[in-house]
């Protein structure tokens, strides 16, 4: 970026005198800026024209002239930031802010939170890590899953934990439960303005069904056809009353079959880089339009240095606003997550039922979770899988002796580091050495050696429709076949196939609760703790409400215009 190079050279010149008036020569200045005298004269002319400095040269080679600085490098950097934003080029912005955390915090003050940019409302969110690109159908990260739902649409979607129409405005099922008909909206558009063809949606669904995830999630699907232009037919091998729910999940979101970044959701991708993600309002969206023009993630991990006192240091506690507004930020929405971190025990490991129960009892013992060295108010101990699905009493196993060594495998989130170390110290008191194995991923999909683990710790996100989400977890997660063994895994899949045939939602939920009760009673799995989701925002951002994934619907947020209301 040429402007950045010029700014860096100007900054070298400015720092030589800390911006004080001075008598100097072109030769001296060229040495400070590491360039030729000819190029130095060109730079001085450009900087004078831009109003950065004043240079009064004296005739004669080597003669000293008067140099006065009219602007500081920090002021110029702010102006360049504003210019790039006004030009609609936010992807150039973060090239200008390679600064120390304290300087960066001050520089970004005017740009974060809710802003009106060129009469367009824009929400800027500082974020603590780069976001992975969205490769459907597999999107493991919680933030990435939230973004996928903003950018893509499915035949159906979740609204208040229920399944609702989306690209399909209605659907019907045959009396035998084997044929489903989804009636498509007549006017749908991809983000590039191209009209959506029903055949494109059919092809994309076929791609999903043929993927590794799709073969598990849509195992009951026999065929996909288009009997009419706006009617998509799905025939099943066996009844599946959860089919509309499955079609609303992230793996079944429908991207363009030939260009994956294109969707039909309320937001389209404008910029996607490691430093900045910008999504903009999709003007031809088929439902209620967003109330903002754009949302930007500024990937600035420097801002989350604890020494700065900034908020938003954890992905479940999001702060929207300028650094100097932190004192004014108020929690606008908070809730205890239904999702949880868990511990599972490999049923193929050389552990007796009594040893398994003792291990579960230890992690569920009073004070175990509360004693973890974590940020206060971040987590809460779990006593149930879902409300009413309580963890059983594992009894008194104090006299049971544990093996001399055990192996624990665990992955993100970072709180499981603390949990693993705590469990290691607790088991050491029991005469058991716990060996820790960290898998640097968000899922077990690419983990080598999982089958060799004795204990496993991970994270289970519970989004919309909690009971259905747990059923999907049992189907899709590599964890279950790895720890159950072939016979128990086959029995589990058979049980899931039986309960999905029921047209009664209440009966399906009841049957699934019994499945998890057996898994907990047999010391296969137990929840450890839930997160406390929280979003804070300054007074100028409205419409913020937490969703089931710990984020908020970007389409409902809005920013009052900068006018006085009397």
Is 400:356 a contact under the CB 8 Å cutoff? no
Report H helices in 364-485.
Answer: 415-429, 466-476, 479-484
Chain segment 300-340, per-residue pLDDT in tens: 776 655 443 333 344 444 555 544 444 455 555 567 888 89
Helix or strand run (H / E) with residue 545: none
Structure tokens at 263: 């969707």
| CA atoms 407, 413, 415, 418: torsion sign | positive
Dist. CA 519–CA 221, nearest whole Å: 28
Dist. CA 79–CA 107, nearest whole Å: 11
Chain segment 169-190, per-residue pLDDT in tens: 999 999 999 999 999 999 999 9
Query: Rounded to 5, what percent of the chain is helix, strand, coil?
Result: 35, 25, 40
Q: Give mean pLDDT, residues 242-267.
A: 96
Is 150 or 113 the better-scoring residue by pLDDT?
150
Q: How many CB atoms lie within 10 A of CB 518?
A: 12
Chain segment 424-474, per-residue pLDDT in tens: 999 999 999 999 999 988 888 888 889 899 999 999 988 889 999 999 999
Residue 70 has pLDDT above 60, yes or no: yes
Chain segment 231-247, per-residue pLDDT in tens: 999 999 999 999 999 99
| Residue 104 pLDDT | 47
Mean pLDDT, the chain, integer: 85
| Residue 166 pLDDT | 97
Dist. CA 247–CA 270, nearest whole Å: 26
| CA atoms 474, 477, 483, 487: torsion sign | positive
Dist. CA 497–CA 514, nearest whole Å: 14
Chain segment 477-522, per-residue pLDDT in tens: 999 999 998 999 999 999 999 999 999 999 999 999 999 999 999 9
**DSSP string of 481-542, one letter each residue:** HHHH-HHHHHHHHHHHHHHHT-S-HHHHHHHHHHHHHHHHHTTSEEEEEEEEEEEEE-TT-B
Dist. CA 359–CA 65, nearest whole Å: 80
Dist. CA 458–CA 443, nearest whole Å: 8
Integer CA distances (angstroms), 263 to 232, 253, 271, 310, in order: 18, 9, 15, 35
Q: Predicted confidence band at 118 (pLDDT cuts at 50, 70, 90)? A: low
Give percent of the chain above pLDDT 90.
51
Least confident of 204-208, 225-229, 365-369, 548-552: 548-552
Q: Give mean pLDDT, residues 382-408.
A: 92
């Amino acid at each position: 970026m040429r402007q950045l190079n010029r700014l860096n050279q100007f900054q070298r010149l400015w720092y030589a005198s800390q911006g004080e008036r001075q008598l100097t020569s072109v030769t001296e200045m060229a040495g400070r800026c590491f360039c030729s005298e000819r190029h130095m004269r060109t730079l001085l002319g450009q900087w004078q024209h831009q109003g950065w400095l004043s240079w009064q040269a004296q005739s004669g080679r080597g003669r000293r002239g008067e140099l006065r600085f009219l602007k500081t490098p920090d002021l110029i950097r702010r102006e360049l930031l504003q210019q790039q934003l006004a030009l609609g080029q936010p992807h150039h912005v973060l090239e200008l802010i390679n600064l120390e955390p304290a300087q960066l915090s001050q520089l970004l003050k005017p740009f974060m939170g809710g802003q009106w940019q060129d009469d367009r409302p824009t929400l800027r969110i500082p974020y603590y890590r780069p976001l992975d690109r969205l490769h459907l159908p597999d999107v493991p990260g919680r933030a990435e899953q939230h973004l996928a739902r903003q950018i893509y649409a499915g035949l159906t979607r979740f609204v208040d934990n229920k399944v609702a129409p989306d690209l399909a405005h209605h659907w019907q099922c045959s009396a035998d439960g084997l044929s489903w008909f989804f009636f498509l909206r007549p006017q749908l558009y991809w983000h590039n303005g191209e009209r959506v063809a029903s055949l494109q949606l059919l092809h994309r669904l076929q791609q999903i069904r043929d993927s590794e995830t799709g073969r598990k999630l849509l195992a009951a699907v026999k065929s996909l056809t288009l009997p009419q232009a706006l009617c998509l037919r799905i025939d099943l091998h066996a009844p599946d009353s959860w089919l509309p729910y499955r079609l609303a999940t992230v793996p079944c979101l429908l991207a363009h079959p030939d260009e994956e970044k294109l969707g039909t959701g309320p937001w389209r991708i404008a910029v996607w880089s490691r430093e900045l993600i910008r999504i903009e309002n999709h003007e031809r969206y088929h439902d209620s339009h967003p109330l903002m023009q754009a949302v930007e993630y500024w990937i600035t991990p420097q801002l989350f240095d604890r020494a700065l006192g900034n908020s938003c240091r954890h992905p479940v506690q999001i702060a929207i606003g300028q650094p100097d507004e932190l004192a004014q930020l108020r929690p606008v929405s908070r809730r205890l997550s239904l999702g949880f971190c868990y511990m599972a025990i490999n049923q193929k490991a050389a552990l007796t039922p009594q040893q398994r129960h003792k291990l579960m009892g230890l992690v569920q013992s009073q004070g175990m979770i509360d004693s973890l060295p974590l940020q206060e108010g971040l987590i809460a101990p779990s006593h149930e899988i879902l409300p009413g699905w309580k963890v059983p009493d594992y009894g008194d196993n104090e006299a049971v002796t544990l093996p001399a060594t055990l192996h624990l495998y665990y992955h993100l989130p970072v709180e499981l580091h603390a949990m693993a170390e705590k469990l290691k110290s607790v088991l050491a008191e029991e005469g058991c050495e716990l060996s820790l194995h960290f898998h640097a991923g968000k899922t077990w999909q690419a983990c080598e050696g999982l089958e060799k683990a004795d204990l496993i710790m991970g994270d289970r996100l519970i989004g919309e429709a909690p009971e259905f989400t747990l059923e999907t977890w049992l189907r899709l997660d590599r964890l279950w076949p790895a720890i159950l063994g072939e016979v128990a895994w086959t029995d589990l899949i058979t049980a899931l196939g039986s309960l999905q045939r029921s047209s009664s939602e209440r009966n399906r939920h009841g049957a699934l609760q019994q499945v998890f009760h057996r898994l907990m009673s047999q010391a296969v799995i137990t929840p450890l703790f839930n997160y406390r989701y929280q979003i804070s925002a300054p007074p100028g951002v409205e419409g913020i409400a937490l969703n089931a994934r710990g984020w908020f619907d970007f389409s409902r947020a809005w920013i009052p215009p900068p006018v006085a209301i009397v």
